Copies of this chain bind each other. A is one copy, B any other.
Amino acid sequence: MELHDNKKREMILNSALELFSKRPFHRVTMEDIANKADVAKGTVYYHFDSKNKLFEYLITDGLNSIRSRLDTGLKGDDPVEDLRCFIESFLNCFIGEQDFFSVLQYEELKDPGDIRTKYRKKNRDYCESLTKILDDGMRMGKFRKDIEPNVLARMIIGMIKSVKNTDHKDVSSLINDMILNGITKGG
């Protein structure tokens, strides 16, 4: 019976995400957000305690949705297949949620002494999921063992995140093949 169609709250979140993805935290003002959401500044403060809290919400909310998307489809018994699946999901997330990943990129930068630190761990969650896949694969003799799984995981994520505007019909399987077989064969 109480409230809400939450229309304005949604507008605020959308506007904030878009602005934070285009400029760093301190170059986005609460008034920018309010204006873009077509709402008064006070309204933003009605829905969110502070600029930090608003930012915090965007990050945790986004991470949660991405995590659940990344976890679906993993079987746990076939590392090669799980790797393929993970890469595909991650690439879909990455391309589908570009604004969010831009915000996350700011978030990932060092800035001890405020909210950020607190998310570092959660932030790495998808790395841990991938780390596990790689670790399993190494123990089963499917992947090379001369590198730490978590280092390799981060490298793979870093690699995927660097992909921009390619029109290859299936980037996902291309990347998968490159990771598995390198650049000297295939093509």
Nearest-CB distance from A148 to chain B (Å)? 6
Question: A162 at the A/B interface (Cβ < 8 Å)?
Answer: yes
| A interface residues, how many (CB within 8 angstroms) | 48
Contact of B25 with A24 in the complex, beta carbons under 8 Å: yes
Across the interface, A24 reaches (CB within 8 A) one of B106, B160, B162, namely B106
Copies per complex of this chain: 2
Binary per-residue interface labels of chain A (144-156) against chain B in the complex, 1 for a CB within 8 Å, 0 otherwise: 1111100110111
Binary per-residue interface labels of chain A (28-65) against chain B in the complex, 1 for a CB within 8 Å, 0 otherwise: 00000000000000000000000000000000000000
Once bound together, how far apart are the Cα atoms of A103 and B186, in whole Å? 37
Contact of B24 with A183 in the complex, beta carbons under 8 Å: no
Question: A27 at the A/B interface (Cβ < 8 Å)?
Answer: yes
Instruction: Tell me the residues in window 140-175 of chain A with beta carbons closer than 8 Å to chain B beta carbons.
Output: 142-148, 151-152, 154-164, 166, 168, 174-175
On chain B, the residues within 8 Å of A156 by CB distance are 159
Once bound together, how far apart are the Cα atoms of A141 and B162, in whole Å? 24
